[in-house]
């Protein structure tokens, strides 16, 4: 499913790609804009707002990616999907401090955008719970400000592997063994994700229910990968230990033949 993507261009040497379903999102946004407010203008504004929102998603992902690069982690691609963005790291750092900084950098980009836009366009009426945007360019900027604030906060939910879940894992890993820290972060994430899936289904917010299902699956997959890696490392440690403990064969003995000529 993730294979169906369209490469756009490179930013800071990172390939930016959009999932094929993104085209459907743009069509949907265009149609909605056409229906609720003034045909072509409504359609154009609606598509521009979706694009502007995803530019903020890319900036969030660049926050993670450029910080990761400082730790020598390659980031070949940033993939945008209708449910959000994903920076593809070559590996996840194991030092809690590195994971913390790489993770927090994403939401910090969103909060920085809020702090830049705030003095320029002000906060929307009814902020923060019932924002009401004026029908003007300023209203659109206020919407973007609000979305960035929400994006930053939303990603800090401790539902592993969302940013908040990774920060939780990094905090736990500074006290517990890495695998145990991951297990706890995944467990807490699973309970919260399951609750959020049901809540969003109940509230007929299907997009968020799909998002949390995706997060639940991704959390489990990442735990399994960490577990496998730990088991492989334990195996090689054990092999190394046995090799050290076992007395080396005396030199005059014939060497062991491991593979017979058959
Ligand atoms: Zn993030």
Distance of CA 109 from the midpoint of ligand 1 (Å)? 10
Residue 89 has pLDDT above 60, yes or no: yes
Give the residue extent of every domain in the chain: 1-156, 157-244
Distance of CA 165 from the midpoint of ligand 1 (Å)? 10
pLDDT one-digit tens code per residue, 204-233: 888 889 888 988 888 888 888 888 888 888
The dihedral through the CA atoms of 47, 48, 50, 51 has a sign that is: positive
Distance of CA 31 from the midpoint of ligand 1 (Å)? 29
Distance of CA 150 from the midpoint of ligand 1 (Å)? 12
- Report the distance separating Cα 1 and Cα 4, nearest Å: 6
Count, residues in the chain: 262
H or E stretch including 14? strand 14-19
Q: What is the pLDDT of residue 2?
A: 55
Q: What is the pLDDT of residue 251?
A: 55
- For strand 14-19 and strand 77-81, is the pairing parallel, antiparallel, or unpaired? parallel
257 — pLDDT class (breaks 50, 70, 90): very low
Distance of CA 133 from the midpoint of ligand 1 (Å)? 26
Strand partners, 16: 78
Distance of CA 84 from the midpoint of ligand 1 (Å)? 9
Distance of CA 79 from the midpoint of ligand 1 (Å)? 12
Mean pLDDT (the chain, rounded): 84
Distance of CA 27 from the midpoint of ligand 1 (Å)? 26
């Amino acid at each position: 499913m993730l294979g169906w993507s369209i490469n756009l261009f490179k930013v800071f040497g990172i390939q930016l790609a959009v999932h094929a379903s993104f085209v459907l999102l743009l069509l949907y946004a265009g149609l909605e804009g056409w229906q609720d407010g003034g045909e072509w203008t409504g359609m154009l504004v609606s598509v521009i707002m979706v694009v502007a929102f995803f530019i903020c998603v890319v900036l969030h992902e660049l926050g993670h990616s450029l910080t990761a690069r400082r730790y020598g982690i390659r980031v070949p691609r940033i993939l945008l999907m209708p449910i959000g963005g994903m920076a593809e790291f070559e590996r996840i750092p194991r030092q809690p401090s590195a994971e913390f900084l790489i993770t927090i950098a994403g939401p910090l980009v969103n909060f920085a955008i809020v702090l830049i836009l705030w003095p320029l366009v002000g906060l929307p009426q009814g902020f923060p719970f019932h924002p009401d945007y004026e029908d003007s360019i300023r209203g659109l900027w206020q919407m973007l400000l609000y979305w960035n604030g929400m994006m930053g906060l939303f990603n800090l939910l401790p539902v592993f592997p969302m940013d908040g879940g990774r920060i939780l894992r990094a905090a736990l890993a500074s006290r517990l063994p890495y695998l145990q820290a991951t297990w706890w972060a995944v467990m807490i994430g699973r309970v919260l994700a399951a609750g959020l899936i049901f809540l969003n289904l109940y509230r007929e917010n299907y997009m968020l229910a799909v998002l949390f299902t995706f997060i639940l699956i991704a959390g489990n997959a990442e735990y399994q990968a960490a577990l496998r890696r730990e088991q492989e490392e334990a195996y090689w440690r054990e092999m190394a230990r046995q090799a050290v403990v076992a007395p080396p064969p005396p030199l005059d003995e014939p060497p062991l033949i491991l593979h017979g000529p058959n």
